[in-house]
């Protein structure tokens, strides 16, 4: 049975949007008119919003508050959801299954984990990350990544569509302490495999690399709103917000399962285990290089590089990719697995522009839960 959401404290988020009123005398629709903003800055646009409902990170308020993606998506959420906007944004979240989760057949593992932790699938939609989507979604963290890692993120995202699954948090009302997005972010686990434990979703999905992480989830309600603004055009975004409203009481579990099966039917399974995949790549290069001098050169350099990486050096991905392209070899999953195991991923002393995910603030009581 669908879980009913708790009553909304409307005084926390402003007045309910009203249907335009038409004057019988003039025919004028009051809803088509607006007074000039009372202030001279963007702050007046969100005078109804208490940021504590959306994030506990001051840097997000600073950056998101003036960013077009967040502003447009928040306006759409308020237009479609009305007085329910903040309540719904705190009660639902999203989990993105990336192409590696699809071909690696990791989604069933994730769904079982989510059910055990009281998340109910509501609906899902397939989409493709483009290069600019990736740059904008992670705009405030990319300063930490090497150029090789950024390029590989783009290549991985292009291997298939991704699948965004919207989830309802079914934690009993008496036990709720966190927004759905924050609770799922904690369960998701760190991107570094050495920091994951058996309680984390990425561990359960057998993530062994910082590149092949299988999933992404927004950290806080503000991030959910922002990512909806980045990934979807206005008509798509509004349709998704409207569909979420309907699915909260009537989850489309069959539709979710059908969409996942369709992705599995379209994109064949591929073993992503490190040793198996790299051995398969080596065998493929060896066979193809037998009567091809250009590929023979690549194969011999591949073996030398693999040996050097085993001793602590790193693959320079972009020169490798250029040589493959010159030899007419397309990038495969085995190439990406090899890169995931051997590139230098990030500058560990570089601090992200938005370094906090907000979890600590919610645990310390700086957020406001409806």
β-bridge mates for residue 126, sequence order:
163
Q: Which of 57, 319, 209, 13 is closest to 302 using CA atoms?
A: 319
- Cβ partners under 8 Å of residue 366, min gap 6: 52, 56
In angstroms, the CA 329 to CA 297 distance is 13
**pLDDT tens digits for range 169-184:** 999 989 999 999 999 9
DSSP letters along 54-69, please? Answer: T-S-HHHHHHHTT-HH
In angstroms, the CA 111 to CA 101 distance is 12
The region, left, alpha or beta by phi > 0 then psi within -120 to 50, assigned to residue 297 is alpha
User: Residue 289 corresponds to which tokens in the numbers above?
Assistant: 């290089």
Element (H, E) at 38: none
pLDDT of amino acid 39: 65
In angstroms, the CA 325 to CA 7 distance is 58
β-bridge mates for residue 145, sequence order:
346
pLDDT of amino acid 23: 39
pLDDT of amino acid 27: 47
pTM, entire model: 0.90
pLDDT of amino acid 18: 37
- Cβ partners under 8 Å of residue 143, min gap 6: 350, 352, 353
pLDDT of amino acid 10: 31
CA distances (Å), origin 288, targets 75, 79, 89, 331: 55, 58, 52, 15
pLDDT of amino acid 11: 32
Q: Can you give the C-alpha Rg of the chain in angstroms?
A: 23
In angstroms, the CA 348 to CA 346 distance is 6
**pLDDT tens digits for range 89-108:** 999 999 999 999 999 999 99
Domains and CATH numbers, the chain: 85-269 (3.30.70.141), 274-342 (no CATH)
């Amino acid at each position: 049975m669908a879980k009913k959401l708790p009553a909304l404290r409307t005084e926390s988020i402003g007045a309910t949007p009203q249907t335009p009123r038409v004057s019988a005398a003039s025919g004028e629709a009051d809803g088509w008119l607006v007074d000039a903003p009372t202030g001279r800055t963007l702050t007046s646009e969100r005078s109804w919003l208490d940021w504590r409902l959306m994030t506990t990170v001051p840097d997000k308020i600073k950056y998101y508050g003036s960013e077009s993606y967040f502003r447009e998506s928040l306006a759409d959420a308020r237009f479609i959801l009305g007085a329910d906007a903040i309540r719904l944004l705190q009660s639902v979240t999203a989990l993105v299954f990336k192409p590696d989760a699809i071909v690696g057949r990791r989604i069933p593992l994730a769904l079982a984990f989510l059910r055990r932790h009281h998340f109910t699938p509501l609906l899902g939609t397939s989409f493709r990350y483009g290069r600019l989507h990736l740059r904008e979604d992670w705009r405030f963290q990319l300063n930490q990544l090497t150029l090789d890692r950024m390029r590989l993120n783009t290549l991985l995202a292009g291997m298939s569509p991704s699948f965004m699954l919207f989830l309802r948090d079914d934690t009993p009302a008496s036990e709720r302490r966190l927004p759905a997005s924050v609770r799922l972010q904690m369960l998701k686990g760190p991107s570094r495999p050495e920091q994951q434990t058996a309680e984390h979703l990425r561990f359960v999905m057998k993530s062994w690399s910082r590149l092949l992480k299988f999933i992404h989830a927004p950290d806080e309600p503000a991030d959910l709103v922002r990512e909806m603004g980045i990934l979807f055009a206005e008509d798509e975004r509004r349709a998704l917000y409207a569909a979420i409203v309907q699915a909260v009481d009537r989850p489309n579990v069959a539709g979710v399962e059908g969409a996942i099966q369709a992705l599995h039917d379209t994109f064949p399974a591929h073993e992503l285990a490190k040793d198996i995949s790299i051995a398969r790549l080596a065998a493929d290069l060896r066979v193809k290089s037998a009567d091809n001098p250009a590929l023979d050169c690549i194969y011999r350099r591949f073996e030398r590089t693999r040996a050097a990486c085993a001793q602590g050096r790193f693959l320079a991905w972009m020169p490798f990719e250029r040589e493959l392209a010159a030899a007419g070899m397309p990038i495969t999953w085995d190439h990406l697995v090899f890169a995931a195991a051997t590139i230098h991923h990030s500058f560990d002393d570089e601090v992200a522009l938005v370094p906090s995910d907000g979890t600590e603030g919610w645990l310390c009581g700086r957020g406001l839960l409806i």
